[in-house]
Structure 1
Amino acid sequence: MTMTSDSSRVSRMDTTGPEEIDGEKVPPVAPLSHLREPPTTKRGARTRAALVKAARKVFERDGYLDTRLTDITKEAQCAAGSFYTYFTNKEEVLAAVLLEAQEDMMHPGMSRVQGSDDPYAVLEASNRAYLEAYKRNAKLMALLEQVAQVEPEFRTFRSRRADAFIRRNARGIADLQARGVADRGVDPLMASRALSGMVSVMAYNAFVLGERHEEDAPVDFEELVSTVTRLWANALRFPGHG
């Protein structure tokens, strides 16, 4: 998929981002250049919104590869030709879906430990917020995994966004080390990659794959939060935690 320089497309940085958490900019989850200027009429805005809503439902139901544009327009209850007034192809409407959902996919990170008197409590709250956001958007996260395998450009944006969160968490770990709370013998960035990756994989297994626990029961959410938090704390050798 090739980035376009068509003048009908805009960066839309004024309407969609960049997002910020803790005062830091976070890369978008999809290529902004794939979006056209928003409709200027209320009717156009409603039609575009209906198409984006329908696209998310169809993408999550059928997967990216098996979704057809006619499936989206049928779900949106609009004429097939209307699609091309707002989007050129699947890539464009997918970008719109992801960018509209990205705010709900945001979550606080380890940088929130700075200045906290109870870093373990903040770590637990951060893990809880991440897992809640992942659970809410589990179908969309599964879609992202699929798209990343077949669309190099989306894979690049996904990687940049993940790296931004990892580096943010690394700064939080470094702050803990400076305060004598975390093990100073580990590299903050390497530790962040390992620990953030652990939480991400566990979330994918629990909420996308539907991994079962003891006696074929679903993974308990509270136990998941408690486990990943304790593993974080033990790995970083929080006082009283390993």
Structure 2
Amino acid sequence: MFERDGYLDTRLTDITKEAQCAAGSFYTYFANKEEVLAAVLLEAQEDMMHPGMSRVEGTDDPHAVLEASNRAYLEAYKRNAKLMGLLEQVAQVEPEFREFRRRRADAFIRRNARGIADLQARGVADREVDPMMASRALSGMVSVMAYNAFVLGERQEEESAPVELDELVSTVTRLWANALRFPEHR
């Protein structure tokens, strides 16, 4: 419903009709449409934070792990693209969703900062880079590229096909590896 109609145009009557439930039943579980949207966004966030990808089988190669992590995130973002666009829309007009968006971004940034610190401790990543600052920059880059590709439908060049997932994964992985100065990228 939210994906189809957008936040501003979705009404409680639309939600209850789509869910085939009475308004009274709706209010047993949710106080308003904001709570419904929050529940939907939390589910999407869980999919994106934990897309089902564990360690890459049979390798400790940091580049392979980074590539698999970027692929899992971008695939999850693509699956949830309409909701991610909706979150951006709602965050502009509803303070509680602006805070939700900030907390969501912070969760990714902190997780990635821990990963960068681990790579530094193993001698794989540049130890002179602040893990939190690097994570903010690199996570932001990937998030904006995903938004542009999957929400806005950005193309490589005007009149060309949309950006391919493999190309996006390859590009953001190379930029992460270069920024962190992985040994093969020094």
Judged with a 3 Å threshold, the aligned counterparts in structure 2 of structure 1 residues 117 and 76 are, in CA distance, closer, same or farther, namely closer
- Once residues 108 and 177 of structure 1 are traced to their aligned partners in structure 2, the CA distance between those partners, rounded to angstroms, is 25
Judged with a 3 Å threshold, the aligned counterparts in structure 2 of structure 1 residues 76 and 125 are, in CA distance, closer, same or farther, namely same
What 5-or-longer segments of structure 2 have no aligned partner?
none
Q: Is the 8 A contact 1:167 1:192 kept in 2?
A: yes
Judged with a 3 Å threshold, the aligned counterparts in structure 2 of structure 1 residues 238 and 115 are, in CA distance, closer, same or farther, namely farther
* TM-score normalised over the length of structure 2: 0.88
Pairing 1:8-19 to 2, within 5 Å after superposition = none
Question: Equivalent of 2:162, from 205, 218, 224?
Answer: 218
- Once residues 86 and 135 of structure 1 are traced to their aligned partners in structure 2, the CA distance between those partners, rounded to angstroms, is 29
* TM-score normalised over the length of structure 1: 0.69
Q: Is the 8 A contact 1:110 1:169 kept in 2?
A: no
Question: Aligned to 1:199, what secondary structure does the other structure show?
Answer: helix
- Once residues 173 and 140 of structure 2 are traced to their aligned partners in structure 1, the CA distance between those partners, rounded to angstroms, is 13
Structure of higher CA gyration radius: 1
Residue 59 of structure 1 pairs with residue 30 of structure 2:
no
Q: Tell which deviates more after alignment, 153-162 or 202-211.
A: 153-162
Judged with a 3 Å threshold, the aligned counterparts in structure 2 of structure 1 residues 85 and 73 are, in CA distance, closer, same or farther, namely same
- Once residues 36 and 152 of structure 2 are traced to their aligned partners in structure 1, the CA distance between those partners, rounded to angstroms, is 25
Q: Matched residues, percent identical?
A: 91
Judged with a 3 Å threshold, the aligned counterparts in structure 2 of structure 1 residues 86 and 179 are, in CA distance, closer, same or farther, namely closer
- Displacement of 1:108: 6.5
- Displacement of 1:81: 4.6
- Displacement of 1:91: 1.2
Q: Is the 8 A contact 2:51 2:76 kept in 1?
A: no
Judged with a 3 Å threshold, the aligned counterparts in structure 2 of structure 1 residues 126 and 176 are, in CA distance, closer, same or farther, namely same
Judged with a 3 Å threshold, the aligned counterparts in structure 2 of structure 1 residues 224 and 201 are, in CA distance, closer, same or farther, namely same
Judged with a 3 Å threshold, the aligned counterparts in structure 2 of structure 1 residues 108 and 122 are, in CA distance, closer, same or farther, namely farther
- Displacement of 1:177: 1.6
In structure 2, the partner of 1:3 is none
Q: After superposition, what is the alpha-carbon deviation per residue over 1:96-125, rounded to whole angstroms, capped at 9, x for unaligned?
A: 222344432323699969996310000000
Q: Is the 8 A contact 2:45 2:104 kept in 1?
A: no
- Displacement of 1:77: 3.3
**Greater helix share, 1 or 2?**
2
Q: Tell which deviates more after alignment, 99-108 or 151-160.
A: 99-108
- Once residues 183 and 76 of structure 1 are traced to their aligned partners in structure 2, the CA distance between those partners, rounded to angstroms, is 52
Q: After superposition, what is the alpha-carbon deviation per residue over 1:15-69, rounded to whole angstroms, capped at 9, x for unaligned?
A: xxxxxxxxxxxxxxxxxxxxxxxxxxxxxxxxxxxxxxxxxxx111111111111
What 5-or-longer segments of structure 1 have no aligned partner?
1-57
CA RMSD of aligned residues (A): 2.7
Question: Aligned to 2:177, what secondary structure does the other structure show?
Answer: helix
In structure 1, the partner of 2:147 is 204
- Displacement of 1:93: 1.6
Q: Tell which deviates more after alignment, 109-118 or 213-222.
A: 109-118
Question: Aligned to 2:183, what secondary structure does the other structure show?
Answer: coil
- Displacement of 1:201: 0.2
